[in-house]
Every structure is written in C-alpha cells, then in structure tokens.
C-alpha cells in the first residue's frame, strides 16, 4: 500500500532537581516550560541572583516542541501527550517506535519503565494495546509476541534468555533489520509482558557511576508484534503492527564519572553509539528541512542506529521523548539534548500499513475436496462399483 509521510512527535520532559543536586547546594532550577510547548533555558551562572539571570538574557535559549512537560508531570501525562494517539495504529498494522533520549540521570528509564505508583511509557503502551484488543470484534484472531534485547558495548544480547550469547543483525527483504536467533515469546496480556520485562531488566547491565546512582550501561529495546486476522469466506487479511519501545543508555562525560577500566570503555561505547544516533538525527533533520541536499545517513556506524533505522526514517510512526534536568550544573547536557530534539522535529518517516493476504484457506478446502473425491473413487473401485 502507498506510504504516508509523518514527522516525528517530539516531546520534552523536564525532571525536578533530585536530593543529591539539592544537597550539593548552589544548584538552580534553570529550565521553564511555557504554554506546554516552549522550553526556556536561563543563564546558568551561579553568581547571579534570579533577577540578574532573568534580566541578562544573552545566555537564555528558547525552543518550541510538539509538547513540553514541566517538573510536576506524571508518566501518564507524558504518555497522553506524546504516544497515546500512536498506539492505536499498531492494531491497524502500523509500526510505531517510542524512545527516550537524554543525558545520564535525566529521567529516561524513569519515563520508559517507571515505578509501581507511576508506570512508565512501556507499561502504559502495553495496557493500551491489550485494552484495544479486548474491545475489538470477536471474530478476529490476535497473536501478540514479545522480544527484549540490549545493546551492550556494541554487542546484542537477548534479555529473555538466562545467559545469552552475542546475536547478529541480518537484513530481511520483508521485515527490514532483524536479530538472528532472538527469542520471541507469545503473550496474552500486558501483565505477562511486564513479568518478562522485569525478568529482562534484572539481566540488564546497570552500574553506579559518579554521574548517576544506577546508570543504564546498555540500550534496551522491547519489541511487541501484533498480528491481527479479521476473517471472511474467501481470504484472510492479516494486519501486522510492530511496537518498538527503546530505553537508551545515558551519555556522560568521562570527567564527570571518575570511571576507569571497564566502566570507562562502557562509557566510550555508549557515547559512540549515541553519537552515531545524534549524527543520524542531524543528517535526517538537515535533509528533511531542505537546508541541505539528501545527505548520507550513517546508520551502519552502530548496532543501535541499525536497529532504529525504521523508527528514524523508515516505515514507522515515531515519538521521541527528550529528558532534561533543570539543574544549572547540567546546563550543557540539557542544551545538547534540546538541540538534537529540535533537529529531530524535521525528520520525516514513511508509514505503510502492513497487510498480508493469505489465500491458503481456499486452497486448503480445495485440497480436502480433491482428497475426499479421490477416497470416494477408491472405495467405489474396492467395492466393485467401478466408475460413477
């Protein structure tokens, strides 16, 4: 079917100052959200009082996004404002990608995974898919499968397997980039997926760094495939939608983490793949804004960008939630994130409804009739009746 152009939905979430930032003292909350769309970043100079900060606007930055959330927003607020409208498409055979982007400690994992009291986007998206399934027609078959992987130091591991060996990416002419050997589990409820998600998260690489008490050292991708089969007498039309939920590892500067050895190598690989992602966003944003001719997009520079290729420019409706800390000592990280989010607004994807027509039922019936007729003929001969 024909493709429809769609732009990325880009939302910004500002997290409140955490206890550690307040305890360090001298930290200011320098990010303001105006009219649910405009993000203003004030001068981070610690030596100025608030009035001077507001009056001296040379370092003030202002950005406009599809939607912006202040520090009091819940995960459900973020879900309702960015991805809720996209999720219904998964049951219509539309691929959907949701990812959180931001520095270490800016609130990505909290936004994607959440807590018992404030469930994250992953949980809310899953609940919506199964709620929609339960309110649809009874004469339709649904098959929902789930996979969960991590990219750690440029190696892909299956989080649904006890001790996964490294997995390889393959190009599939129909499905695009696939992970060879990745386990896909059939599920019947959001609760089942949540159990698998918790199991996978226990296997995920997280470690404390000086920048964050529990820093994700890997990128994690939860993928839900929904096959929906409405039936009629002559053929079966199957809609196949895929939901990719991505929790990226945090970017951090080595100077801020005091890391050494393996942790430092982890950080270098994380930053390398995030740089590759940023470069893809940059190239796509430039090409789609008309500011430059179609430029080369470096998807192959990392496993992460190869996995996200469809979500960034291919067959997918995509939402990016960029998370920033309002703390003045995170000014450069926040500006960096906001710049890339601003560029991502220009990116266009090409959405196609994934429809497959299976004519096999008619062929199956014909085969059964042929076999029965053959058996009847054999019985007639056996009973001495000859032909008709």
Flag whether 111 is marked binding.
no
Flag whether 106 is marked binding.
yes
Handedness of CA 179, 180, 186, 192 (dihedral sign): negative
Furthest-apart CA pair in the chain: how many Å? 109
Flag whether 104 is marked binding.
yes
Contacts of 238 (CB under 8 A, 6+ apart): 227, 228, 229, 355, 356, 357, 358
d(CA 149, CA 138): 33
Ranges assigned E (strand) in the chain: 4-7, 9-15, 31-34, 38-41, 61-64, 67-69, 96-102, 140-152, 155-158, 169-172, 176-179, 185-187, 206-209, 212-216, 219-230, 236-247, 317-325, 348-351, 355-358
Residue with tokens 């409208």: 85
Q: Report residue 66: phi and psi, to 5°.
A: -60, -40
Distances (CA, A) of 78 to 12, 23, 69, 245, 261: 9, 28, 7, 14, 37
Handedness of CA 300, 98, 153, 149 (dihedral sign): negative
Half-sphere exposure of 162 (CA within 13 A, CB side): 0
Flag whether 103 is marked binding.
yes
The single-letter DSSP state of residue 326 is: -
Flag whether 105 is marked binding.
yes
Which residues define the annotated binding site?
Answer: 102-109
Which residues define the annotated binding site for ATP?
Answer: 102-109
């Amino acid at each position: 079917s024909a493709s429809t152009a769609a732009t990325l939905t880009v939302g910004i979430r500002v997290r409140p100052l955490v206890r550690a930032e307040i305890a360090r003292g001298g930290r200011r909350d320098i990010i303001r959200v105006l009219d649910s769309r405009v993000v203003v970043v004030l001068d981070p100079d610690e030596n100025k009082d608030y009035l001077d900060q507001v009056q001296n606007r040379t370092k003030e930055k202002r950005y406009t996004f599809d939607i912006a959330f202040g520090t009091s927003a819940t995960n459900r607020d973020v879900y309702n404002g960015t991805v809720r409208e996209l999720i219904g498409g998964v049951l219509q055979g539309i691929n959907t990608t949701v990812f959180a982007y931001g520095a270490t400690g800016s609130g990505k994992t909290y936004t994607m995974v959440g807590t018992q009291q404030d469930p994250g986007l992953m949980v809310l998206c899953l609940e919506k898919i199964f709620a929609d399934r339960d309110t649809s027609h009874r004469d339709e078959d649904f098959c929902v499968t789930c996979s969960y992987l991590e990219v750690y130091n440029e190696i892909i591991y299956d989080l649904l397997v006890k001790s996964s060996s490294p997995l390889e990416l393959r190009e599939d002419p129909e499905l695009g980039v696939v992970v060879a050997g990745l386990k896909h589990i059939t599920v019947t409820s959001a609760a089942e997926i949540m159990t698998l998600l918790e199991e996978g998260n226990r296997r995920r690489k997280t470690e404390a760094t000086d920048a964050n008490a529990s820093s994700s050292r890997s990128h994690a991708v939860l993928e839900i495939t929904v096959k929906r089969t409405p039936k009629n007498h002559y053929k079966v039309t199957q809609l196949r939608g895929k939901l990719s939920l991505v929790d990226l590892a945090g970017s951090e500067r080595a100077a801020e983490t005091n890391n050494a050895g393996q942790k430092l190598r982890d950080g270098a690989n994380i930053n390398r793949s995030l740089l590759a992602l940023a470069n893809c966003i940059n190239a796509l944003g430039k090409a789609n804004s008309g500011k430059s001719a179609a430029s080369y997009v470096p998807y192959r520079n990392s496993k992460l960008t190869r996995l996200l290729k469809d979500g960034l420019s291919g067959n997918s409706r995509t939402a990016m939630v960029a998370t920033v800390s309002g703390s003045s000592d995170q000014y450069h990280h926040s500006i960096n994130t906001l710049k890339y989010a601003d560029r991502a607004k220009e990116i266009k994807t090409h959405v196609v409804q994934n429809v497959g027509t299976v004519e096999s039922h008619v062929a199956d019936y014909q085969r059964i009739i042929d076999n029965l007729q053959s058996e009847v003929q054999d019985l007639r001969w056996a009973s001495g009746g000859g032909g008709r």
